[in-house]
Chains A and B, each alone.
Chain A
Amino acid sequence: MPEPSAEDYQLDPELQSSVVLTSLEWLKGWGRRNALWPVSFGLACCAMEMMATAATKYDIDRFGAGVFRASPRQSDVMIVAGTVTHKMAPRVRRLYDQMPDPKYVIAMGACTVGGGPYVKYGYHVVQGVDLVVPVDIYLPGCPPRPEALIDAVRKLQYRISEKGGRTLRFDAVEKNREDQRHKAAGGEAAVQADA
């Protein structure tokens, strides 16, 4: 979404040189998209590419997303980089829950997008991290190149600016998550019945 200009508000031409008009939503989006602080959080080999993206050669800090925080409380975006196992999934969820709103999730790599090479016979791997946390950007690859991660960050920033900080998560993905939870609640009951 382009920045709203003075013409949009039919401002007196004499005021255009001295007054800046914008919407609060746009301003919030501008602030949010240009200071995306990721969680320092890597699960497997994709984390190597994430580190490379943060390092000098690719330098994700050019896009304001290079301040990897050691605490989820200070973070805006969680780059889930690597295979999420069933043992790890509650920890991923807890980290996500500890992040303050607004928060975004990038599912990095084939494993987090949909289970990757483990999807069929890997009993230990969650078949897509969107079953655990809502995902804003899916980034396939095994592992994705640093350029791809930069592209994912740029796409996330574009989405944030589009909706003033809100992303698709708040509508379509939220609904999907509720559906999954509903299904999982039935699934859990079936597990107990088996035992």
Chain B
Amino acid sequence: MTNESDTQAAPPEDPVTLRALELLRQEHPDAVVDALTTGRHPFIEVTADGLHEACVLLRDHDELLYDCCHLVSGVDRPDQEQIEVVYHLVSYSTHPGDAYRKRAEKNDPYVALKVRVPRDKPEVPTISDVWTGADWHERETYDLVGVIFTGREELRRILLPEDWPGHPLRKDWEFPVGYHGVPIVPPEAQ
């Protein structure tokens, strides 16, 4: 216990992400861009074009069976002129009952996918046909970050009013001076 911090200098590898990455590289070698398989938040970065086939593989492969799309979120990175879309997938089939185990435990059934798209043209193919539950997540990501998901039926706001100006979680979004007659004092003025 005393010297544990010394022995943990190198963060442990995540076997689940490693296996998913291995299978992805084997089946769709062009799709994978980057990966981080160590630490508390491992991820696999894929291209926007390869996202759909990667998701289908992760869902349908007998070893992986990622049957649930937990979360779709967007990260605005104006310094890199990019927007990042993150997909958190979970497999209830391969780990029945264990889906909520702590990340620190091995073999937990989570994997994270990332897609980076240019900020001035943030178009990502939809995965709502792979997991129906991703539908509302995509609408929320469009609503707040402004990512355009292509190939799906309708892409309209889900949380904010339909005539809301802009996408408020963009870093360069500016507060309107008022909305429908209700004045707004922006944070700079407070």
Residues of A participating in the B interface, judged by any CB pair closer than 8 Å: 86-87, 89-90, 119-121, 123-124, 126-127, 131-132, 180-181, 183-185, 187-188, 190-191, 194-195
In the complex the two chains form, is B160's CB within 8 Å of A131's CB?
no
Q: Which residues of B contact A194 (CB under 8 A)?
A: 165, 176-177
Residue with the greatest number of chain A CB neighbours at <10 A, chosen from B161, B175, B183: B183
Q: Which residues of B contact A185 (CB under 8 A)?
A: 181
The chain B residue with its CB closest to the CB of A190 is B177
Contact status of A187 and B177, CB under 8 A, knowing A124-B168, A132-B182, A180-B183? yes
Give a binary string over B58-101; 1 marks a CB under 8 Å from any A CB, 0 the rest: 00000000000000000000000000000000000000000000
In the complex the two chains form, is B180's CB within 8 Å of A188's CB?
yes
Query: Closest 7 interchain pairs by CB?
Result: A187-B178, A184-B181, A187-B177, A123-B168, A120-B187, A86-B179, A87-B161
A-B contacts, 18 of them at CB < 8 A, read: A86-B164, A86-B182, A87-B160, A121-B187, A123-B173, A124-B160, A124-B168, A132-B182, A184-B181, A184-B183, A188-B178, A188-B180, A188-B181, A190-B178, A191-B178, A191-B179, A194-B176, A194-B177
**A interface secondary structure, majority:** helix
How far is the CB of B175 from the nearest CB of chain A, in Å? Answer: 6
How far is the CB of B186 from the nearest CB of chain A, in Å? Answer: 9
The chain A residue with its CB closest to the CB of B174 is A194
B7 in the interface (beta carbon within 8 A): no
| Chain B, 144-190, CB within 8 A of any chain A CB | 159-161, 164-165, 168, 173, 175-185, 187, 190
Q: Which residues of A contact B178 (CB under 8 A)?
A: 184, 187-188, 190-191
Give Cα A181 to B180, complex, Å. Answer: 11
Q: Which residues of A contact B181 (CB under 8 A)?
A: 181, 184-185, 187-188
Say which size band chain B's interface belongs to. Answer: 20 to 34
Residues of B participating in the A interface, judged by any CB pair closer than 8 Å: 159-161, 164-165, 168, 173, 175-185, 187, 190
Identify 17 new A-B residue pairs, CB closer than 8 A, beyond the known A86-B161, A180-B183, A183-B183: A86-B164, A86-B180, A87-B160, A89-B180, A89-B182, A90-B180, A120-B187, A124-B159, A127-B184, A131-B182, A181-B181, A184-B178, A188-B180, A188-B181, A191-B165, A191-B178, A195-B165
Give Cα A181 to B168, complex, Å. Answer: 25
Give Cα A45 to B177, complex, Å. Answer: 28
How far is the CB of B189 from the nearest CB of chain A, in Å? Answer: 10
Q: Which residues of B contact A87 (CB under 8 A)?
A: 160-161
